[in-house]
Structure 1
């Protein structure tokens, strides 16, 4: 029985080292080194080559290295019997909460705007009590962000595809309540999972339902955003700007119009980065549960995509 670590674009050796250190004796293969495919029953993955897992006849579990799983669920060649798991980690939640808070404060106090203008021109700013934040996606990360913003004095509401119970935060649910959230939102934060239903959800139709001057933050996936629609709505004056941490193509090409736009702030997908040492214990626990034929933690519902 072996574990395969496969993560093109990320250093897989860091993960292999943590797995071996925290589970001495575990046989770990690192893709693309030579290995016996029949031995592999458990894979730890990030953005694997499409179709590769169908070559592992005894594979039972694919564990995502992060909170996102769309890089796995979007592969139609993964056999249905293979379970997919995701990471739930306090560090990821804390990092995302701090990042979103920083972006909102930067926007409402014009910090980056003053720096880039190179002029001594004080501008009117917003106060925390007057900023209404709407969060699309009330999963683990969305809920953590909402609670953090609320503790800092912001008015916060959330939207989820299905009904969620949350005493401290008002949550809208279902397509029929989406417009209710948008109508009262001055800063919109996207933390939705990427599924066929949520791809391109950040589009002109949605933006038009936000109040004039609203600000958009996307820290989920680049595929959520219709880039042309965002540019059009900012240039028309309906949106005041956007902070984008994720993109359809990463790194974002140098010639992309986002770079030159004064009202779009770009960061290189740094909102919340997985620390292998922090999340390997839960991956090992799932490995052990698999070997004992016990129920796994944090299993993804394939039909939902999250």
Structure 2
């Protein structure tokens, strides 16, 4: 029997994903019909991107699962009409991209490279950075992406701690959790990396009150979600020197409006949501494996916990 797979994303993404998805589905040995135009009542699986137009899943009577193209599921997880399993994207290419972005920016701030990039203007300033072992880094969020970044930084010798809402044990990594653990993670963070999902429990995790726990001059990297930061509080902390620099890849409104004060702030670096992107080839393999599992009656990979929101 043919498995009908609806690709629910815009035309540009269909042009990008069609060939790698077909290759991956063929390699999985599946009999399938992949299309962006299946009638709802005939669909078995939806490959889902937040930019598409489906908001009511009720007409999809045969639907077995929704397979999200991105790691973030905040736009669909609370949809009351979605009554089938939802899988988020955990993709090797996405993970490696995030590790490289985080590592690059941690090293940038650790080594003080901005001073040399912008020029010393003839001043021979001999500022030697500490070794990585003497630089304390905290990573908020120990999911797939946070754990990979924290383990990489620890492997480079950084004094690395990770924080999560519930207790975790990760070899060679200091793991903190809960409210007291969050305070401890902030208090030690010369460089703070935000890799939490967007949930009611994580929104505005950085406010004036929590930012006050950071060491003077701390650096913040946010490749996670724009909703994690109270923007007004961060701007105040930058002006006071509590935060020395913020490198931001995600924002509450994207694209970031031209009039936003982040653009002109001398201690803010903006990257346009490029820290990590789903790679069509590797993402297609993840999707094909989940379709294979679904058709074989096996558990799906990377299922979302609706109560937790990720």
Tell whether 2:207 aligns with 1:197.
no
Of 72, 76, 97, which aligns to 2:79? 76
Q: Is the 8 A contact 1:64 1:72 kept in 2?
A: no
Partner residue in 1 for 2:283:
279
User: Residue 50 of structure 1: CA displacement?
Assistant: 5.9
Tell whether 2:162 aligns with 1:158.
yes
Q: Is the 8 A contact 1:213 1:238 kept in 2?
A: yes
Partner residue in 2 for 1:92:
94
TM-score between both structures, scaled by the size of structure 1: 0.91
Q: CA distance change for structure 1 residues 232 and 154 in 2, over 3 Å: closer, same or farther? A: same
Separation (CA, whole Å) in 1 of partners of 2:58 and 2:128:
55
Q: CA distance change for structure 1 residues 249 and 102 in 2, over 3 Å: closer, same or farther? A: same
Partner residue in 1 for 2:127:
124
Structure 1, unaligned runs of 5 or more: none
Of 63, 87, 103, which aligns to 2:105? 103
User: Residue 291 of structure 1: CA displacement?
Assistant: 2.1
SS at structure 1 position matched to 2:269: strand
Partner residue in 2 for 1:254:
258
Of 31, 35, 40, which aligns to 1:29? 35
Alignment of structure 1 residues 194-273 onto 2, 5 Å? 194-273=198-277
Q: CA distance change for structure 1 residues 250 and 8 in 2, over 3 Å: closer, same or farther? A: farther
- Cα displacement string for residues 64-88 of structure 1 (whole angstroms, at most 9, x for unaligned residues): 1122222321x43332x21111222
Q: Give runs of ≥4 in structure 1 deviating > 6 Å.
A: none
Separation (CA, whole Å) in 2 of partners of 1:287 and 1:300:
16
User: Residue 125 of structure 1: CA displacement?
Assistant: 5.2
RMSD: 2.0
Q: Is the 8 A contact 1:54 1:77 kept in 2?
A: no
Separation (CA, whole Å) in 1 of partners of 2:62 and 2:287:
18
Separation (CA, whole Å) in 2 of partners of 1:6 and 1:123:
55
Structure 2, unaligned runs of 5 or more: none
User: Residue 123 of structure 1: CA displacement?
Assistant: 6.9
Matched residue pairs, number? 301
Separation (CA, whole Å) in 2 of partners of 1:9 and 1:118:
48
User: Residue 113 of structure 1: CA displacement?
Assistant: 4.3
- Cα displacement string for residues 142-192 of structure 1 (whole angstroms, at most 9, x for unaligned residues): 111111111111100010111111121010011232111111111110001
